[in-house]
Amino acid sequence: MKRAVKSWPSWVLLVMVVAGLLAVGAARDAAPRSPKERVEDISKRLACPICEGESVFESRNADSDAIRVEIARQVDLGTVSDDQIINFIAQRFGSKVLLVPRATGIDALVWALPAAALVCAVVGLGVAFHRWKLAADTIPDDADRALVADALAADASPDADEP
Amino acid sequence: MLATASLNGIVGHAALIIGLAASVFGALGLVIANVTGDGRLLRTISNYAWMALGGAVVAVAVMERALITRDFSLAYIQQVGSRDTPALFNVTALWSALEGSILLWLLILAIYTAVIMKRNRQRLDDPLVAWALVVMFTVTAFFFFLSFGPIDAFKNGPVPDFTRCCLGPNPLLQNHILVLFHPPILYLGYVGFTVPFAFAIAALITGRVGEGWLVATRRWALYAWGFLTVGILLGGWWSYEVLGWGGVWGWDPVENASFLPWLTGTAYLHSVLVQERRGMLRVWNISLLVATFSLTILGTFITRSGVLASVHAFSNGTIGPYLLGFFGVIVAVSLGLIAWRGDRLRSPGAIDSPISREGAFLANNVIFTVFAFIVLLGTVFPLIVEALQNRQIAVGPPFFDRLSMPIGITLLFLMAIAPVLPWRKASTELLRDRLFWPAWCGAGALAISVFVGADGLAPLLAFMLGGFAGGAATRQLLLALRRQGWRGLVGRANGGMVVHLGVIIVAVALAASNSYTRVAEFTLQQGKPVSYQGHTFELVKLQQFADARSTGVKALIRVDGGKSYAPAITTFTNFGTKIPTPSVRNGLLNDLYLTLEPSVRFDGTEAPVKIYVKPLIVWLWIGGMLMAAGTVLAGFPGRRRRVPTDPVSAPIELESAGV
């Protein structure tokens, strides 16, 4: 009975339920952002030009206020994208206000290197598993069998875990 | 006044030089005694550990005495002391800047060295223990040298000019009790990784790279990790309660510096199990410990040498080269030793299948290592660009958030699958069976989230996988409880599952609070309640306050017609900056987080406030407590396997395993 409950059909049901719920939940998110949300999103991607470690969104000083006003003005125009607004601000204050680094020039490395590291790590792991598989598939010869026989005959010690 | 003044400086210097000498003699004596087999010399070595500890204790005590007696002849007291700092924050002022925080580091390191010495004093003739202590003494000596020489913690200051100096610690470091706990606990973890590192180096030097050193340091690594975890979370809590931006983690370089060793340390705690069980991954485990320890030094270099600006970086241009040099020596020596012992480190055996406990640990390691790489890269990238192109750029929280989100999701998925995997190899049938109820837990969590109105793919995935992983961890705990009674809660595997539950709660809390925080600004007027997100906020009054060191104003705001909360703005007369202090109503579902804006007029009748509604954030701290409890449980001895041929993973009871 228990086995039947856990069989493939109930897993298929599970996957369908999950997919349906995810679809419902994700679709709710698709509503267009309000202007206020857009200003919030953009100001979170910009650093306050005169303070350390705060975004324009969090910062309370006059420069950040001015930037927020400018963002709101451009958002209200409704004709420019988030990225265009951000580029506009970055031209004024320099690329040090970009909290999300550009993907051009040397700055692109900050995006490319993590991807490269992930690929290297996964490929490395794949190679390791391949070699382990080759090692495990080696057919034992007589010398190996003799070693095993010796070990079995002599082995009464509990340290068998120790290679 | 002047007599005690010079006394503090003299005693402090003397303590440091005695500690330095004791550490150097301890290291040299151990090497000589081991090479020559001189038993008499060996028996004297433990004295050096006690002397070093004594030096560190006296140095810290004298610095505290200088703080408490307001000895402004010392440069450090001029920097962080003031006449009117309250007693508690005067004591914690010790670690509010570079010199004192290195003294705190030194004290904890000396305590660890002394404890290792005490526990192993009968085994000093064992080369593994001896070399581990040589490493501990050497690191201790380096920090004594740092605080005596380049930093000169007890330097005499110029004649104090009280119009400009002696303002006390940064105002942010003198308004919350957590400054008493966060730094010492964090350092207990940060510095604690020196112990397993020392034993790893000793294993390489002695060639005993088997599993003995792992077993000797297992609890040290575990507790260091636990302290680091708690320390980091307390830092987040402090940030939340004090800074007033409503967040717990800002990917600030100093935060990253504590997070990096946490990542590699977490990877180590998992991969070490593969070595204990299968004797494999020796080089990898040693490398992870070397990485963990060297990252603590590199992190200290990045944040304490003034190369990177950060909210809480203490800059001091003189120590950079020493820390960087020490980092270079650690890496070079470790790599050299690994290369030298290459033949012994090669281990027999193979991992049969990626779908196995070992395979899951390896996947975990890949992800944690890549995560650590990303955090390190993001932290130092502005430096690299500036060095290459002389151009300033920033790598900010949105970058880290974007990259850590998929990593977090993948880790949650692994946490769901890994606990049920057996060693060696798993079949699909077994997975289908063991994962069934956990997977439905995930579906249930997802259904609840959708039902209460959650949206967005990423947070929903996090909630679902949180439920899945929580189900898997709970299943393991229930099975263990049934098999072993109360012992099903202790031991590494079971304690580890409790830690997992804590991590999952933290992950869900982070996903919810990052995705669904609502914030709005209002100008509250007396007698006119405002409602926002289903709560009402009414300004009762603005209240001015003043004490010896500050003046300020707080807004009494009645929430939901009940208790009043009082966000404040404080101006510290010494510094002149306006410090906002939030006021938080904690709740299991939502925190209401109120801040008063600096634009408030002290004598006005209006309160410009920012109101954050932050869901589930309390669960961050609850999850953190569970992680700490799980670490303690994991430190207790678990069920012993009587014979090594016992099955590696107990067979599941299919008929009764209904969890």
In a domain, A59, yes or no: yes
Query: A interface mutation test: which of B271, B277, B460 has the most A CBs within 10 A?
Result: B460
In a domain, A4, yes or no: no
Total CB pairs under 8 A between chain A and B: 161
A93 and A47, same domain (yes or no): yes
Between residues B268 and A159, the one the model is more confident about: B268
Contact (CB<8Å) A125/B447: no
pLDDT 10s digits, B609-624: 999 999 999 999 999 9
In this prediction, residue B538 carries a pLDDT of: 93
Q: What is the percent of chain B where pLDDT is above 70?
A: 94
Q: How far, in Å, CA of B291 to CA of B279, rounded?
A: 21
A54 and A81, same domain (yes or no): yes
B486, exposed or middle or buried, with CB in 10 Å at 0-12, 13-18, 19+?
exposed
Kindly state the greatest CA–CA separation across chain B.
85
What is the pLDDT confidence band of residue A3, given thresholds at 50, 70 and 90?
A: low
The CATH code of the domain that includes A72 is 1.10.8.640
B45-49, B77-81, B509-513: which range is least confident on average? B77-81
What is the pLDDT confidence band of residue B306, given thresholds at 50, 70 and 90?
A: low
In a domain, A138, yes or no: yes
Q: Which two tokens stand for residue B193?
A: 């990784």
What is the pLDDT confidence band of residue B453, given thresholds at 50, 70 and 90?
A: confident
Q: What is the mean pLDDT of chain B?
A: 89
Q: How far, in Å, CA of B416 to CA of B473, rounded?
A: 7
Reference B569, options B591, B552, B582; nearest CA is: B552
CB neighbours of A31 closer than 8 A, spacing ≥ 6?
A: none
Is residue B464 within 8 A of residue B412, CB to CB? The reply is: no
Query: B interface mutation test: which of A10, A69, A110 has the most B CBs within 10 A?
Result: A110
pLDDT value at B335 more than 50: yes
pLDDT value at B243 more than 70: yes
**Three-class DSSP labels, B182-244:** HHHHHHHHHHHCHHHHHHHHHHHHHCCCCCHHHHHHHHHHHHHHHHHHHHHHHHHHHHHHHHC
In this prediction, residue A162 carries a pLDDT of: 39
In this prediction, residue A158 carries a pLDDT of: 47
In a domain, A21, yes or no: no
In a domain, A24, yes or no: no
| Alpha-carbon torsion, ordered B76, B79, B85, B87, to 10 deg | -20
**Mean pLDDT computed over B209-223:** 88
Which chain B residue shows the shortest CA-CA distance from A123? B366
B148-152, B416-420, B597-601: which range is least confident on average? B597-601
Contact (CB<8Å) B432/A8: yes
Of A76, A100, A124, which marks where a domain is finished? A100
Contact (CB<8Å) B370/A117: yes
User: What CA–CA distances, in Å, run from B586 to A109, B331, B509, B565, B620?
Assistant: 42, 45, 14, 11, 12
In this prediction, residue B87 carries a pLDDT of: 87
Reference B147, options B295, B303, B305, B319; nearest CA is: B319
In a domain, A66, yes or no: yes
Domain span at A125: 108-161
Contact (CB<8Å) A113/B369: no
Q: Any idea where the domains of chain B sit in the sequence?
A: 1-169, 182-190+200-424, 425-516+618-635, 518-615
Residue type, B189: G
Q: How far, in Å, CA of B472 to CA of B633, rounded?
A: 18
A93 and A115, same domain (yes or no): no
A41 and A94, same domain (yes or no): yes
In this prediction, residue B222 carries a pLDDT of: 95
Of A100, A124, A153, which marks where a domain is finished? A100
In this prediction, residue B628 carries a pLDDT of: 96
Q: How far, in Å, CA of B354 to CA of B360, rounded?
A: 7
**Mean pLDDT computed over B364-370:** 95
Contact (CB<8Å) A100/B655: no
Residue A94 touches chain B, beta carbons under 8 Å = yes
Is residue B50 within 8 A of residue B116, CB to CB? The reply is: no
Of A24, A136, A158, Cβ closest to residue B644: A158
**How far B148 CA lies from chain A's nearest CA (Å)?**
31
In this prediction, residue B5 carries a pLDDT of: 52
ipTM of the complex: 0.85
What is the pLDDT confidence band of residue B649, given thresholds at 50, 70 and 90?
A: very low
Contact (CB<8Å) A25/B455: yes
In a domain, A12, yes or no: no
Contact (CB<8Å) A110/B449: no
- The DSSP bridge partners found for residue B555 are B542
Residue A125 touches chain B, beta carbons under 8 Å = yes
DSSP 8-state secondary structure symbol assigned to residue B572: E
Q: Which two tokens stand for residue B395?
A: 């790598």
Q: Which two tokens stand for residue B205?
A: 């030097």
Q: Count of domains in chain A? A: 2
Of A58, A79, A100, which marks where a domain is finished? A100
Contact (CB<8Å) A18/B446: yes
A71 and A119, same domain (yes or no): no
**Mean pLDDT computed over A51-76:** 86
B145: phi then psi, degrees, rounded to nearest 5: -60, -45
Q: Which two tokens stand for residue A144?
A: 């190996």
User: What CA–CA distances, in Å, run from B10 to B58, B92, B110, B146?
Assistant: 12, 22, 21, 17
B594: phi then psi, degrees, rounded to nearest 5: -110, 130
Of A10, A47, A52, Cβ closest to residue B311: A52
- The DSSP bridge partners found for residue B400 are none
In this prediction, residue B232 carries a pLDDT of: 96
A67 and A41, same domain (yes or no): yes
In a domain, A122, yes or no: yes
Q: How far, in Å, CA of B225 to CA of B368, rounded?
A: 14
B85: phi then psi, degrees, rounded to nearest 5: -70, 135
